[in-house]
Amino acid sequence: MITIDKLCYQSKLRYVNAGEKSAFAMLTLIACVGSRSIAVAAIVLAVTGILTVYKGGIPLFRYLHFLKVPLAFLILSTVAIVFNLSHTPGDLFSIPLGSWYLSVSLTDFRYALQLIATAMAAVSCLYFLSFSTPMPDILEVLRRIRCPRLMIELMLLIYRFIFVLMEISSAISISQKSRLGNVNFRTSLKSFGALSSALFIRAIKKSNALYDAMESRCYNGTIHVLSENYPPCKREVLYILLFEILLYLFAIWRRFFL
């Protein structure tokens, strides 16, 4: 089972109405991306982190571990924004390279920080939803807001096949290791190629078997899934509305009046 999925089912926010959590995550994400403010991003990071760790019961170090992955990617991707090669030195610091300067300007550095903060806050919104709402509940929310049925069914089938392919690849990998399939680099490459080809063939066979099973159960073009209904709490809806109003007012003030 995927770690995020396992933590999601263990979350204390698991039985909160999925529509509330989805609306909070999406509205907060839009405010964060629209404002592109470091202050707004800091507020969003703090609030979503507290809700995920304190209210949801997700271990802090596990949550920080998942945040490290996008943070490392963002730092590496913003290096090209921060450093510039020009004939004039930057106002923050510069390294002379003959007639050129490898420099960093204060404007570019602030822009990189703003980009990293905004992206991390947006990721924290999605993490809040992922760590508290199972995939079937998210699909039910999409169905209620009239998302295309084909898209929802594709998401459901892809979600299902992630676990199927992980189980098959894990079994093949264990079998290869027991036969010293990774004893050196050349053997590892050969084993990886064999695993990929076997996984592709198994995936086709599994998909055909799944379709045959659906046909035998009177599949008519629509996948019906039983969904659990958790009624929304008026107090929680009020808190969400109050937070979003204050956040949007603060974002507008930061964007247009500072």
Domain definitions of the chain by residue range: 1-133+229-258, 135-227
Q: Quickly state the pLDDT bin for 47 (edges 50, 70, 90).
A: very high
- Per-residue pLDDT at 51: 93
Q: Quickly state the pLDDT bin for 25 (edges 50, 70, 90).
A: very high
pLDDT tens profile 69-121: 888 888 888 877 777 777 777 667 777 777 777 777 778 788 888 989 999 99
- Residues 120/67, Cβ–Cβ less than 8 Å: yes
Answer whether residue 239 shows pLDDT above 90.
yes
- Residues 2/163, Cβ–Cβ less than 8 Å: yes
What is the C-alpha to C-alpha distance for residues 52 and 129, in angstroms, rounded to an integer?
9
- Per-residue pLDDT at 125: 93
pTM of structure: 0.82
Mean pLDDT of the residues in the chain: 85
What is the C-alpha to C-alpha distance for residues 65 and 53, in angstroms, rounded to an integer?
13
Strands (E), 62-119: 83-86, 93-97, 100-104
Residue 101 backbone phi and psi in degrees, to 5: -130, 130
pLDDT tens profile 189-225: 888 888 888 888 888 888 888 888 888 887 777 777 7
Answer whether residue 173 shows pLDDT above 90.
no
